Amino acid sequence: MKIGILGLGLIGGSLGFDLRSQGHYVLGVSRRELTCQKAMEIGSVDQASVDLSLLVSSELIFVCTPIGLIVPQIKELIPYLHKNTIITDVGSVKGPIVHSISPLWENFIGGHPMAGNTSAGIEAAQFNLFVNCPYVITPVAKTIKNNLTLLEEIVRSLGSNVYYCSPEQHDRAVSWISHLPVMVSAALIDACLNETDLEILELAQNLASSGFRDTSRVGGGNPELGVMMAQYNSQALVNSLHQYRDHLDSFIKLIEEENWEVLGEKLLFNQHNRPRFL
Amino acid sequence: MKIGILGLGLIGGSLGFDLRSQGHYVLGVSRRELTCQKAMEIGSVDQASVDLSLLVSSELIFVCTPIGLIVPQIKELIPYLHKNTIITDVGSVKGPIVHSISPLWENFIGGHPMAGNTSAGIEAAQFNLFVNCPYVITPVAKTIKNNLTLLEEIVRSLGSNVYYCSPEQHDRAVSWISHLPVMVSAALIDACLNETDLEILELAQNLASSGFRDTSRVGGGNPELGVMMAQYNSQALVNSLHQYRDHLDSFIKLIEEENWEVLGEKLLFNQHNRPRFL
């Protein structure tokens, strides 16, 4: 089929590679001419343009822009489309997007491929990025069954593992395992950097190894992404943060009270149950 | 020279390999006969025994027992030794150990090789474990200069990078980059596991990927080690935890106030400065 991709970065570019290799005809739109040229050169799309009208003949469109642009770009795109065109997005937050777009376009379905790497942009696009990664699809009551079947089929062809849930369930789940870790990890870096004794700070920097590196990784990542997670998923994230703070307080209390037995039980419980997330 | 190792686990066993390969004669003591046999078999020591008296002729002794046993074992060991024998330990907390032992043995020097892996025991012992790893030596005012020179020479022969500081500086630095991350990470696992909506919990477990895996790694590690860090370094750790909590609160406040500009600045600051710890 004819598939449009709006936003040719890591996700959009990689989708293009895989969809073309499945035999689809891929139309790509980027805000930057240079990205369009690059996407054509590397074979991630069949045709590319900075003009949204290129997507007019698409039967299905993946919106792969940064999260803050998804809603405005879809609004701009709608006037160009046939009423049967299916739109889906790949944003990492679903509630605000799904509830903004659903009333405007009945053939919209929210989605979130949980794949990526530390690189960004069309240069980072690759084949098989989505293989064995979760791909969450978030239908609502009025989602059209046939659209869902079609989207699921395409998503499965990428090698993804499909999960269905409501936009709210998605946002609460990712607030625990993706957005909360970013803030927890960011506060760790922030606290360490604020050690006022410069000898201790320098020593800490020299001695830090894999434990610090891993725990601080997501908190030292892309600032724009971190802000957008917080901005678009603030309700679920604030809830997770408050609950996290309560658990942190319990740890502090146990240590202050020198209750090593219960601290040990908690750490043992963690050790046993963490693999459920792996 | 004749070097004793008390405690033949990952660190003690690995020290044995390297010291023997430097041409030293290595005497090993373990509490378990089986460990002694194994250490001999794999060539980590020249001689091994469950009896502390084996160490009587050592010129330098590395105490490599679990942290809680270091002080009691050294007290038990002292009656067997010539007064010139140098004792050093490898405990990950230095203040309580150095201040307990220094008054009893003038030839004691605290140390902390910051090497290891997730395995434990003599079976995990390996050559070159300490290469390019920090090795902290924590002398005090009355430490004998010649002993320090000798220990530094041995430590350098392992390929380690030597750092000097006071026991208190060591404990404060590692509370930031090693002990605090464990508790921060443990509270994260604990909070996630306590999600009461079982559908959300299951979804979170299915969707969790590398971000969660890295941020939760040290909090889901060896519970005994976690307790000992807290137990032996509680003062510095509690201080770090309280400061961490303040920084966490600032992040929560920024998100609640929707102050995306300052949140973005903080995340950018983290991104720029985290590499100083890598």
Average pLDDT over residues B97-118: 93
The DSSP call for residue A160 is: P
Tokens at A25, concatenated: 């005809």
Q: Closest chain A residue to B221 measured between Cα atoms? A: A271
Distance set, CA A60 to CA A27, A28, A161 (Å): 10, 12, 20
Look at residue A116 in the predicted model and tell me its pLDDT. Answer: 75
Whether B175 shows a pLDDT value over 80: the answer reads: yes
Tokens at A126, concatenated: 């690759």
Average pLDDT over residues A161-177: 98
Look at residue B140 in the predicted model and tell me its pLDDT. Answer: 97
Q: Cα(B109)–Cα(B46) distance, rounded to whole angstroms?
A: 24
The band of B239, judged by pLDDT with boundaries at 50, 70 and 90, is very high
In this structure, whether the domain defined by B168-275 belongs to CATH 1.10.3660.10 is answered with yes
pTM: 0.92
In this structure, whether the domain defined by B1-164 belongs to CATH 3.40.50.720 is answered with yes
Nearest CB neighbour to B173, from listed A194, A200, A263? A200
The DSSP call for residue A219 is: G
Look at residue A58 in the predicted model and tell me its pLDDT. Answer: 98
Whether B3 shows a pLDDT value over 90: the answer reads: yes
- The full set of domain ranges for chain B reads 1-164, 168-275
Task: Give how far A118 is from chain B: nearest CA, Å.
Answer: 11
Look at residue B120 in the predicted model and tell me its pLDDT. Answer: 83
Whether A119 shows a pLDDT value over 90: the answer reads: no
Nearest CB neighbour to A255, from listed B234, B246, B278? B234
Whether B118 shows a pLDDT value over 80: the answer reads: no
Task: Give how far A248 is from chain B: nearest CA, Å.
Answer: 5
Tokens at B104, concatenated: 């009893």
Contact A183/B255, CB-based, under 8 Å? Answer: yes
Look at residue A122 in the predicted model and tell me its pLDDT. Answer: 95
Tokens at A155, concatenated: 């998503």
The amino acid at residue A144 is I
Nearest CB neighbour to A191, from listed B209, B247, B277? B247
| ipTM higher than threshold 0.90 | yes
Q: Closest chain B residue to A263 measured between Cα atoms? A: B227
